[in-house]
Structure formats: C-alpha cells, structure tokens
Chains A and B, each alone.
Chain A
Amino acid sequence: MTALVRAELLKLRTVKLPLWLLITTLALVALGVVATVLTAGTEGSPLQRDDPDLLARAVASASSGNVVVLILGILVLTQEFRFGTATPSFLVTPRRARVLVAKLIAIAATGVVFAVVSAVVAVALSAALIGLRGDPLTWDGTVLQVLLGVVLVMVLYGPIGIAVGALVRNQIAAVVGALAWMFIVEQLLVALLPEVGRWTPGGASTAVLQLGDVATTRGELLPVWGGALLLVAYAVVFSLVAARLTLRRDLT
C-alpha cells in the first residue's frame, strides 16, 4: 500500500497541474483575507474593526482552496480514464480497490499540504493587514480552532472530488457541475434556506470554520462538531460510491 500511495503522489508531482492549482489556491486565500479585513467596519460586513474574532475570520479564508482541491480530485480520477492511464494502473495493481484507496490517501495528503501552505499565507497576510490598519490583533483559541477546521475541510474535499469524478466521469461536466454547486446552489441554500443549506457539504464546511453567524444572517448552521462529522460522512459515503462504480467496470 505504501508503494501505491508513493506512486500516486509521484503521479501528482510529475505533472504541472498541482503546482498551478496551489498557486490558484493561494490567490483565492489572499483575496479572501484582503476582502475580510478591509471590509471590516463597513456597512455590509458583520465584523467591526475591533471585533475580537477579526483575525480568526480572516484566517478562515485559508479554506478557500477547498474548491481547488475538489477540482484536483475530480481531475485525478477523470484523467486516468481520459488519457487511458487507468489501464496501466490497474495492470500493475489488478486489485482496483487498492488503487482507489491509494488515490484517496494521496489526495488527502495533498489537501494537508495545500491547507498548511494556505494557513501560513492566511495568518501572515491577515496579521500584517490588520496590523497595518492599526486594529487590535486577538490571538486566541478560536484562531487555532479555525486553522484545524481549515485542515479538516481541505483534507476531505479531495476525496469527495475523486468520488465526483468517478460518478460523473465526464471531466468538463464534473468540474462545471462542482463549481456551479459550490458557488451558486450551496451559497443560495446557506443564505436563503439555512435549514436545508446546513446539511450540504458547503454548509458543513462553514460550520466547521465557525462562520455560522457570519455566513447566514440567522446563524442556523450546525455546531462545529456536527459540521465536522457531516463532512467526514460525505467523504466516506462518496468514496464508497466511487469504489463501487470504478472497481467493477470493464476497461475496454
């Protein structure tokens, strides 16, 4: 199994895509931090400039790359079929479940790397910006909890992406569908129908990041632990469905 995970990580390291996606992630993180800090105290923002949670809120932008990790997961799986590399993969490892598990582990590990780099950038940039504006910086347990939430979210979105790739198979449809789901459907549900929205992966992530009262006007998201459990459940169920769909298929 170690050999297979190493092979999957090597697959990721020997193409350019993950690096580009990491750069994209950092751009999203920076954008999120800047927007959070600079809008604090303005009319549309739920945060005051001296809000003790300002740093924690800004740092939560480190999870912005969840969509990028999701797309990486989708591409990792769909490209195997698109480029026909699934054939050599399954020839080397005829027990296909092992290949899939190795992929899930490799993408989760990649999620950790993305999360750590994002967290470093988010913390540094948030502290610098808040400091520059002369606002108070509050380093407390909330910041640490948010950072742990970031890692959890980033670890779980990759496996969900692999599962979406296995389900949809058509690369473009899977990517476009995932983007539309995350940026349109979930946003609307969380904002307008929180009683439904809190059960979506996006709602669960928002809960994990303790953004409940920020993301919705009514603060009707799940508690942190509930969001975490729900997100884990999504990743597990999706992965099992992916396994079922990928493993028995004829490769002609």
Chain B
Amino acid sequence: MATTVRLQGLTKRFGGTLAVDDLTATVHPGRVTGFLGPNGAGKTTTLRMLLGLVRPTSGTATFDGRPYEELVAPTREVGTLLEATGFHPGRSARDHLRVLATAADLPVRRTDEVLDQVGLTDAAGRKVGGFSLGMRQRLGLAASLLGDPPVLVLDEPANGLDPQGIRWLRGFLRGLAEQGRTVLVSSHVLPEVEQTADDVLVLAAGRLVRAGTLAELQSEGGGGTKVRTPDGERFVELLTAAGLPGRWLGPEELLVQAPPAVVGELAAEHGVVLHRLAEAAGGLEDVFLSLTGQVRP
C-alpha cells in the first residue's frame, strides 16, 4: 500500500520563464502533504510533471522509483484530481466514470461505489454540464478513487466547495491518509491545509522555499516578536548583525525570532523608532506570507 513520491531536481522552463526551478522533495505515505504556494508559484506545473502530462525540462518525479508513464496500471496506483474542467458537459456523471473505468479496465461497479463515497449518488444520472463547481470537484474526487490507489495527487481540491464541503473534504483526506495512503494536496488557501496537513511543501516563484512538518512551520510563527517600524530596512540590518534575523510580514512590519524584551532593547540602543512591539501570536499565515515573499516591500 505504501508508496513514496519523490521529486528530484524537477525543472520546467516555458520559453523564457522558469516555472519550476530545481525542485527536490519527498512525499511520505500515511500523511497528508500540503503543497502550498500563491497562485502562479508553479504548483500545477509541478503536479502535471509528476503525472506525465508536462515534460520536465530536467529532473524526475517518481512513485516508488517509477515515473508515472511507466506505471503498469496508473489508475490503480495513483488517483488524480486536476482542475475541474475535464468533463464533457453532455455526459452524465456515471457515464464519465464508466468511460474512465472502462479505459482503466476496472469493474464498472466501482463507479457506483465512488459516487457513493463522495455523496453524488443522487446526481449520478445528471449531465455534468448542469453541475455546480462543488459537484464537479466531488466528481473529480470520485474519479481519483476509482482504482482504490495508494497515492492521491489532488490539485486544489477545495476549490468551489462550500464551507460544509470543505469540512467534509478535510475529514475525507484525513481518512485516506489514516488508511496509509500518500496524499499530496495543493492549495493556496491556508486555513484548509492548517487543519488537514501533516507535512508541508511551500513553493514560491517556482522554488521550494520550505519543506517540513506543519508543526515545525507553525512553531516558526510563534514565540517571536512582531515589530512595526518606519525604519525597517535599517532595523533588519541591526537585527542581522545581532544574530536575530527578521522577516518582513508587511510594509513596515517585521517578525523577529526573539523575545520582545531583547528586540525592544536593541531598538532603544540604536535609537530606532518603533510603532509597535508585541509578542507574535503565531500562525501559519505569517510564516507563509513571509516565506513566499508576497508582502515584501
């Protein structure tokens, strides 16, 4: 059951744009791995390279050592959900799954089982063209489960789900990981990952900027000090000189890995004006924003 996914030096260049830059990471079985990054960071391109849809410029992506194209029965080994557009609008949900099951040589009764798993049984005979985005996502998830695969690769599965659906998805993904499956879920919506993922990979502008457990990342957000100062550039230099590197959280706002007393004293010593000095409440969001550099002035 347990399959490990490895990305090794994965790189994709589209014309002059480096979409994914030398990405190396491991995704472990029995855990939900959140693949985070702002829109345009290269998450989808990475997942599409992993699934053999986009040819990497260099590097490899493997499932227990085998690239996707070499899997004997890919549907039984890797379940996939990519953006919710892969449906013929005139085909019913059940027929969509029957086509995939037939091509994958899976028993057709699997279609009803997975429709039940995602709660679409009542809509099975309806045309996908009339489905809401949330229903399409559920249908996509159903398709990913057809082969009962040990690995799931899901690109933004929470897109289009209502709050109730997101809660359902969370429990659903946790359940899959608890069965020992390898679950890789991309997202640009943090709260959703914060409550689901065990591990996180953070991607920014095509580069992997952090890989680790969610707990590690969360702890980085706590225990520090938030500082607001009009003299940020200089203060960062002073902090660095003092061995207390600060990270930008917003214009004029820094997060420093040190207690408020230490930071305040340093500011006083060098006459840096502070508008705010407070113990950081912590949270993945601050870490995420600073890692992905979205608010760097």
Contact = CB atoms under 8 A, between A and B. Distances in A.
Contacts of A4: 103
A10 B99 contact: yes
B237 interface: no
Contact of B54 (A7, A83, A84, A252): A252
A87 B75 contact: no
A85 B82 CA distance: 11
B74 A14 contact: no
Interface of B: 44-45, 48, 51-55, 68-69, 71, 74-75, 80, 82-83, 85-92, 95, 98-100, 102-105, 143
Interface string A86-126: 11111111110000000000000000000000000000000
B103 A83 contact: no
A79 interface: yes
B91 A14 contact: yes
Nearest to A251: B53
Contact of B99 (A7, A83, A84, A90): A7
A93 B103 contact: yes
Given A11-B99, A250-B54, 18 more contacts: A3-B105, A4-B103, A7-B102, A7-B103, A14-B92, A14-B98, A15-B88, A15-B91, A83-B89, A88-B143, A91-B51, A91-B52, A91-B53, A91-B80, A93-B74, A94-B69, A94-B71, A251-B53
Contacts of A83: 85-89
A218 interface: no
B104 A92 contact: yes
Interface in A15-30: 15-17
Interface of A: 3-4, 6-7, 10-11, 14-17, 79, 83-95, 248, 250-252
Contacts of A90: 52-53
A89 to B, nearest CB: 7
Q: Which 8 A-B pairs have the closest CB atoms?
A: A7-B103, A84-B85, A14-B95, A7-B102, A251-B53, A84-B86, A94-B69, A3-B105
Nearest to A13: B95
B53 A87 contact: yes
B75 to A, nearest CB: 5
A157 to B, nearest CB: 23
Contacts of B92: 14
A168 B77 CA distance: 34
Contacts of B69: 94-95
B74 A92 contact: yes
A219 to B, nearest CB: 46
A81 B66 CA distance: 27
A161 to B, nearest CB: 18
B74 A15 contact: no
B111 to A, nearest CB: 12
Contacts of A85: 86-88
